């Protein structure tokens, strides 16, 4: 907001230094007067001859004291201006970096040299903030570009199907409607996933006590028909694991993990194990599935948006939108937890979610 012009910090420090020196000089003169001159006899009328007296000392001392005070004032202003400039030089660097960041240059870093002090600490904190902000903006731009591409694909397919139907009125309408329904369903799923991802990133949800073991059982019950269809054994074990958060988001997190484990499994005869437990102040959820061996470089990128893992087994009816593990990662971070993905030596994936534990009231 607009502000009225005022004195600069350098000028304020300069006046402070000069004022301090002036006050110190005045106090020194006062000490000389109180503890020295007051004990010298006063001979302003010349009654005591030419011996030293207060009258002579005051007439001799006063002009010299005035000159000293003037010198202290000038010296304080000049020296204070120089010292304030040197002291505030790091602040000028930080201000310049702030202006550049405000103009969109997030790649600029201060990298202030010297030993640790308040200004260096502020500089390092500002550099860290710029680094996180640059990374976040780059991630958002990449996500927006991927989302635009993913949303454009079903819309382009729908337009192509409608153009074909318009040019060929004799075409089977049932097949056309079925294909349009599938394409629109995929677009709706993608939109809902994007909205959920944005909601979890913002963290605007009401927290309540949630038992991850009950959430895991609910998710497994929902996905049991899919697992039976694929001949996958789905097993939920472990004890209570309470945490604080959104029951809806945590259910979506577990559902995405279990569905991901079922879909990206062996063609048949695979297993999915869901286990919940508490370790001290941490509630742990583990989802483990069989499958093909995954290269470590692929596992490290599975939580990126629209990263589907092309080396993993999948089918068209559950192709997904590439946001399953990205949503899981966002929900875990929104609940102050950690997400670890590790490839199993025999094939498949082990996902470990750690959330802060809470005790029942």
* Residue 354: its H or E element: strand 349-356
User: Can you tell me the distance from the alpha carbon of 259 to that of 220, in angstroms, rounded to the nearest whole number?
Assistant: 9
What backbone phi and psi angles, to 5 degrees, belong to 110?
-80, -50
CATH class of the domain at 208-356: alpha beta
Alpha carbons within 13 angstroms on the beta-carbon side of residue 349 total: 29
Would you state the pLDDT for residue 149?
A: 65
Domain locations in the chain as residue ranges: 9-105, 142-202, 208-356
Would you state the pLDDT for residue 308?
A: 56
Q: What residue has token string 């102050």?
A: 336
pTM given for the model: 0.58
What backbone phi and psi angles, to 5 degrees, belong to 242?
-90, 145
Crossing angle of helices 9-35 and 54-102, in 10° steps, is: 160
Would you state the pLDDT for residue 330?
A: 85
* Residue 40: its H or E element: none
User: Can you tell me the distance from the alpha carbon of 328 to that of 323, in angstroms, rounded to the nearest whole number?
Assistant: 9
Helices (H), the chain: 9-35, 54-102, 118-167, 173-202, 212-229, 247-263, 296-299, 324-334
pLDDT by 10-residue block (mean), the chain, 361 residues: 68 79 80 68 54 65 77 81 79 82 80 78 86 80 69 77 79 78 77 71 79 94 90 93 90 91 88 94 95 88 69 46 79 91 92 89 59
């Amino acid at each position: 907001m607009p502000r009225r012009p005022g004195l600069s910090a350098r000028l304020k420090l300069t006046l402070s230094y000069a004022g301090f020196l002036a006050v110190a000089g005045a106090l020194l003169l006062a000490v000389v007067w109180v503890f020295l001159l007051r004990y010298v006899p006063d001979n302003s009328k010349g009654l005591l001859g030419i011996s030293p007296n207060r009258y002579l000392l005051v007439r001799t001392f006063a002009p010299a004291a005035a000159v000293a005070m003037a010198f202290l004032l000038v010296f304080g202003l000049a020296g204070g201006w120089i010292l304030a400039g040197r002291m505030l030089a790091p602040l000028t660097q930080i201000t310049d970096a702030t202006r550049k960041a405000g103009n969109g240059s997030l790649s600029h870093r201060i990298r202030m040299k010297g030993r640790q002090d308040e200004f260096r600490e502020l500089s390092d904190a500002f550099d860290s903030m710029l680094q996180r902000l640059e990374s976040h903006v780059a991630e958002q731009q990449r996500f927006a570009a991927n989302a635009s591409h993913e949303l454009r694909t079903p819309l382009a397919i729908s337009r192509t199907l409608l153009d074909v139907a318009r040019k060929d009125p004799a075409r089977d309408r049932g097949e056309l409607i079925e294909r349009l329904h599938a394409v629109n369903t995929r677009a709706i799923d993608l939109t809902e996933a994007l909205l959920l991802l944005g909601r979890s990133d913002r963290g605007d949800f009401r927290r309540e006590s949630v038992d991850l073991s009950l959430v895991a059982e609910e998710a497994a019950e929902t996905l049991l028909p899919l697992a039976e269809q694929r001949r996958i054994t789905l097993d939920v074990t472990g004890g209570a694991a309470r945490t604080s958060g959104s029951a809806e988001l945590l259910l979506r997190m577990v559902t995405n993990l279990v569905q991901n484990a079922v879909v990206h499994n062996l063609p048949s005869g695979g297993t999915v194990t869901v286990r919940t437990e508490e370790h001290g102040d941490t509630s742990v959820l583990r989802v483990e599935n069989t499958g093909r061996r995954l290269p470590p470089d692929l596992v490290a990128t599975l939580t990126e948006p629209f990263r589907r893992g092309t080396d993993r087994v999948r089918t068209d009816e559950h192709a997904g939108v590439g946001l399953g593990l990205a949503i899981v990662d966002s929900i875990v971070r929104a609940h102050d937890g950690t997400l670890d993905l590790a490839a199993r030596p025999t094939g498949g994936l082990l996902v470990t979610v750690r959330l802060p534990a809470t005790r029942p009231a």
